[in-house]
Chains A and B, each alone.
Chain A
Amino acid sequence: MAVLRPFDKLPALNSAVLLLVSSDEGLQQKLAEAILREKKNFKINIHLATSLPLPSERDHLRPRIDMIVFMIDIKSKYSLKNVEASLAYVDASFFLGKVCFLVTGVGRVNCCSIEMNAIWKLGEIYSSPVLFCELEMEGIRVATAQRLLRMLQICAGHIPGVSALSFGSLMRSSAND
Chain B
Amino acid sequence: MESVDGAVRTLPSIGRLSRGLLFGGVHGRVGLSPSSRLLPPAPPSQENVDSQKTTFLLRKQWTLYSVTPLYRFSDTHLKDYARLLSAFIAAEKQKGLAVEIGVELGIKVAISSLPDLRGSDRDQAAILVQLSSRSPASPKNSEEKVIWSGWFCSVSGDDFSENVPEDFTCLPLFLANGAESYTSIVGSWFQKTFDCCFRRLAISPLNLSWMAAMWTGCKVDKTASAMELVFSVPHLPQPLDISYAIHPEDAKALWDTVQKTPGEITQEEVDVFMDCLYSHFHRHFKIRLSATKLVKVSTAIASAHCDGIIKFLQSQYLTGVLMLLTELAISQIQ
Interface residues of A (CB under 8 A from B): 23-24, 26, 74-79, 81, 103, 106-107, 109-117, 120, 124, 132, 175-176
Picked from A75, A110, A117, the residue with its CB within 8 Å of the CB of B4 is: A117
Chain B count of residues within 8 A CB distance of the other chain:
27
CB of B197 within 8 Å of the partner chain: no
Q: How far is the CB of B34 from chain A (nearest CB, A)?
A: 10
- Let me know if A77 and B290 touch, CB within 8 A: yes
Where the two chains meet, the residues of B that have a C-beta atom closer than 8 Å to any C-beta of A are 1, 4, 25-26, 29-33, 35, 202-206, 209, 234-235, 267, 271, 288, 290-294, 306
Q: Which residues of B contact A114 (CB under 8 A)?
A: 206
In the complex, A110→B208 CA distance in Å? 11
- B31/A116 in contact, CB under 8 A: yes
- On chain A, the residues within 8 Å of B1 by CB distance are 120, 124, 175-176
Assuming the contacts A26-B235, A78-B288, A117-B26, asked whether A111 and B293 have C-beta atoms less than 8 A apart, the reply is: yes
Cα distance, A22 to B32, chains bound together (Å): 24
* Structural contact, B33 and A116, CB atoms closer than 8 A: yes
Cα distance A74–B294 in the bound complex, in angstroms: 13
Nearest B residue (CB) for A113 = B205
Contact of B293 among A81, A113, A116, A175 (CB under 8 A): A113
User: Are A110 and B202 in touch, CB under 8 angstroms?
Assistant: yes
Within the complex, the shortest CB–CB distance from B65 to chain A, in Å, comes to 14
CB of A76 within 8 A of CB of B290, answer: yes
Q: Which of B4, B204, B267 contacts A113 (CB 8 A)?
A: B204
17 residue pairs bridging A and B, Cβ less than 8 Å apart: A23-B291, A76-B292, A77-B291, A78-B290, A79-B291, A81-B290, A110-B203, A110-B306, A111-B204, A112-B31, A112-B205, A113-B293, A113-B294, A115-B206, A115-B271, A116-B26, A175-B1
Contacts of B292 in A (CB 8 A): 76
Do B31 and A74 touch (CB < 8 A)?
yes
Query: CA of A132 to CA of B291 in the docked complex: distance in angstroms?
Result: 20
Given A81-B290, A117-B267, A176-B1, CB of A132 within 8 Å of CB of B35: no
Q: Hey, which chain B residues are within 8 Å of A106, CB to CB?
A: 30
Q: How far is the CA of A110 from the CA of B235 in the complex (A)?
A: 18
Q: How far apart are the CA atoms of A124 and B3 in the complex, in Å?
A: 12
Which 10 pairs show the lowest CB-CB distances between chains A and B? A78-B291, A110-B202, A78-B290, A113-B205, A77-B290, A112-B204, A116-B31, A109-B31, A120-B1, A106-B30
List the A side residues contacting B206 at CB < 8 Å.
112-115
